[in-house]
Structure 1
Amino acid sequence: MSVEEFEELSRRAPELVRLEFIGGKVRAKPPADGTHGQIVMWLVKRCLEHRADLWLYPACGLAVETYRKGRARPDGVLAPDEHFAGAGEWAAPTGVLMTVEVTSRDADTNRRDRVEKPDGYAAAGIPVYLLVDREGCSVTVFTEPEKGAYRSVTTRPFGALVELPEPVGFTLDTEKFKEYTD
């Protein structure tokens, strides 16, 4: 499937279905449950507290992977205020400081959030990828993208202080995530 065919399919998909095109394959991203949404909104608030010059945009479409042949909808995209104004449905990742994914309760989350997404975001040159892993009760920070992979990967349990290095540049206290485990 070409990128153009995927974009047409995505435009015609019902609102309940969020489609992504990663690794040359169409993936359906399941609807978020209440806890998933709460975690994303909690992160939005933390980002604004620490970096008022930046916004954590929920579910923004990004053109990722080598030569922009992938399409992803991260749960959050950290970028400067008004960065995506006029960008359209699938924005270039240029200027994005961090992507955020919160794992879902579906069979595809391992491949999608732990394997394909880090590779796609690294290939796009996004400096930081933050994965909130509800199943593993942990937070993983991927940094130093090089040649389509992140060279540094650090995992900490819920409750730890997690350093989000420059260009994000603040420490995230993940104690609150303990309340969101099922």
Structure 2
Amino acid sequence: MSVHELAPRTPARQQMSVDEFEELARRAPEMVRLEFVNGKVQVKSGPDGNHGEIVMWLLEHCMQQRSDLRLYPEQGLKVDAYRKGRARPDGSLAPRENFVGQGEWAEPGGVLMTVEVTSRDTDTNKRDRVEKPDGYAAAGIPLYLLVDRDARSLTVHAEPKNGEYRSTRTYDFGDVVALPDPVGITLETEKLKDYAD
């Protein structure tokens, strides 16, 4: 038995408090986008052209089918239930004016769906496919949509309960994707094949 096997396991410690993180985020240069997920400060990659086009494609579909909702790009959310986190989804679908007066880090109440589009960085697997679903589920956000450019797929996470989504379904680019209630939007995703790279 090694010394490491004898040492008691302890939960990962947060790098700093939420207040310290928010101060750091306030002082960061404008081009640096920070998140505080799973107790750790993370730098969110800047979007490339295809990433941005996917967000705009989704924004257009949301507004065409649900004029009562808006897809807010990069709105900071408090995901307090998940280790006092702060996340910046690529999009937060919510009723219009949902974030008025809330500042940089808003409460997730009213958010019907968060959206992440995978980036071309080394952290995307852990961040977008593992940590973010847990954070959004713990915050009670009904849907999490992951647009995965590497896998050329969309994954719909639904039915949050006890800090995780109980339903997960993956579709290939090109499939017709019916987002369940409370979103109720249908996405014809053939165009996403043009933006996968």
TM-score, normalized by the shorter chain, greater than 0.5: yes
Q: Select the residue among 8, 15, 24 that pairs with 1:9.
A: 24
Q: Select the residue among 46, 66, 70 that pairs with 2:61.
A: 46
Asked whether 1:34 is paired with 2:76, we answer no
Asked whether 1:123 is paired with 2:138, we answer yes
Q: Is the 8 A contact 2:75 2:88 kept in 1?
A: yes
Gaps of 5+ in 1: none
TM-score of the superposed pair, with normalisation by structure 2: 0.91
CA RMSD of aligned residues (A): 0.9
Asked whether 1:159 is paired with 2:174, we answer yes
Q: Is the 8 A contact 1:54 1:78 kept in 2?
A: yes
Equivalent runs, 1:64-103 vs 2, <5 Å: 64-66=79-81, 69-103=84-118
Amino acid at match of 1:169: G
Q: Deviations over 1:14-73 (max 9, x none)?
A: 111100001100000011001100000111100000100000000000001417710000
Q: Which residue of 1 aligns with 2:129?
A: 114
Q: Which residue of 2 aligns with 1:20?
A: 35
Which sits farther off after the overlay, 167-176 or 59-68?
59-68
Aligned-partner Cα distance in 2 for 1:108–1:15: 21
Aligned-partner Cα distance in 2 for 1:90–1:176: 32
Moved over 3 A (4+): none
Identity of aligned residues (%): 69
Q: Which residue of 2 aligns with 1:144?
A: 159
CA offset at residue 105 of structure 1?
A: 0.3
Aligned-partner Cα distance in 2 for 1:120–1:178: 28
SS at structure 1 position matched to 2:106: coil
Q: Which residue of 2 aligns with 1:58?
A: 73
